[in-house]
Chains A and B, each alone.
Chain A
Amino acid sequence: MLKKNIYDVVIIGSGPGGLAAAVAAKKEGAEDVLVIERDTELGGILLQCIHNGFGLEIFKEDLPGPSYAQRYIDECLELGVETMLDTIVLEVTPDRKLYTSSTKYGFVEIQARAIVLAMGCRERTRAMIQIPGMRPAGVFTAGTAQRFTNIEGKLPGERVVILGSGDIGMIMARRLTFEGAKVERVLEILPYLSGLTRNYVQCLEDLDIPLQFEHTVKFIHGEDRVEAVEIAAVDKNWNYIPGTEEIIPCDTLLLSIGLIPENELSRQAGVKLDPLTGGPYVDESRETNVPGIFAAGNVVHVYDLADWVTLAGYDAGKSAARYAQSVRVKESSHIPVKAGNNVHHVVPHSINKTNLSDEQIELQLRVRQPVEDTVLIEVHDGENRIARKGALYARPGEMLTVVLKERHFADVEKADSLTVDVNPL
């Protein structure tokens, strides 16, 4: 049995966002903090990300995913965070009740004073982009193949084509090559990389794995198992260019075609979602439109780095703990933060003026179009510029940030809305 059925802060998910939220909630003074995890162990997807590159921002160390997770798992346990593993949350209500089910605890109803949504995201599938062809075995999302390879000890295939240049796809290209498979090709429908440049260098270039831009899979061949894929070049409207078709024999097709925030539970709870990100609208404290329900990490918008998810988790956990202890001012005065020139979306979506304190606010954004030249990220209120920052380039695959500091808050106080533009210098 659980020790109790009322908690200050309940966190759904134990990936980097959830673990950080739990740590921060405890440190902010929440007494009873519970993490609910669907898997049988804590850590989320970090456990299957055995490659290095985690912790560079936070620890200035180059750690594999499981080692990075372990630091937060240890910290959670030291701080006395309670956990419910192998447990599925069936429903979250707007008044912060959670209905859960598991073999160990049975059906349990829990009342939370504050909730942090940290469910992460899911991979887009073949059905979502409707790849034509037959329906053989051997078509996997890159993350599923990663779990098979790194945790379950089963190699998904020996001759592989990867559709999409997302980070997990590139990481898996290297991983499968390391395990003796032959990765024939990586195809990207866009004219630029979806993932991080460093992953292109370390995972594809180092191992001479060819990457083709503006190419996609036209047809999947195979009776029981994938036998080949037919690929083709596309024009700017993504129509196949006749005469460019090529058959690549292979037994496996991996898909690394994007991630979607996982918000089934959020919807039930009445949390409003941004159609551009697929995640909740949040303010600078990571609070959703439902009072006392906060969200952080890939459930809000998909990040490039786990370190940034951790930082978002800290914010959400801290805010949730304050809410649970009623430290937060309850009345609010929100102004929207809008996506301006060449900006796809900005998180947070709004700023609650009554929360402005000495803590800086980081605005996170993605551009619509790549700019391979110096750009200026500018925050303004329609008339006056409030903050700005330069960047050497702007790419949709790499998140940009601009920070509002205490000295900007007088201008934020006066504004009715904020807009973020990314302009060429």
Chain B
Amino acid sequence: MLLFSVFTAWPVISSLYMSLTDIKSRDLRSPFAVSFVGLQNYAHVLSDSQFRQSAFNTAYFVIVGVPLTLGIALAAALALDKGITRFRTVFRVGYYTPVVTSIVAVAVVWRFLLQPDSGLVNTILRWVGISGPDWLGSTTWAMPSLIVMASWRNFGTAMIIFLAGLQSVPVMLHEAASIDGASSWQRFRHITLPLLRPTMLFVTVTTGIGYLQFFEEPFVMTKGGPLDSTISMSMFTYNQFGFGNYGFATATAYVLFVIIVALTAVVFRSLRSNT
């Protein structure tokens, strides 16, 4: 309990104060030299153009990445739940595999796959006659590449949770509906989807929270480039920390935190009120 208070609860509280000061790395040994600057850090954060770029990139990543990940996950879960009877475990384990692996290692491997000439992705595209771009070197394609990679790595978690949710959908309902002549799409739309709503809510929120903090992918694959086109809010915070601007870095982290809390609340409300 003591450990918990010291290493988990205390940082949360002290960080709030820290974000209101001008603490820098040289102040580590003289905590009394730190002066209170009120909301100055926050004003500075919101007017920083690189921070705005990082906020835009993070929004892009979440808005495209979350639906893509959940879409793949739901499709995979539906296929494995009903259609696939043989080798189901093999598929399930296979689809889940990327989740357990280190993002850093996976990002290193994907950097190779996405190489313009010798990469596997462009080689496969060449077979069908498309000459692929320099994925990570292009301001247009770098972000979509990161999003596809993140979806590839993370959809397994959502798939497993969807599978658990699908099992709670009573078979009887489907039978009754098909006797009444409902097509499989109608059954999916009007039985499965509404009953999956709580699962959907949970998965949207957890995936969204994770994606809002994306960090390793740009750190390893693009270093935030080219031209800041993939710098994320987490990377911005980390960079500021690296420059020794602790108070400023914490303020940027709090902006991210407030966004996380706000979006979570919005998702909860919208998915609840739609029922």
Instruction: State whether these chains interact.
Output: no
Residues of B within 8 A of A (CB): none
Residues of A within 8 A of B (CB): none
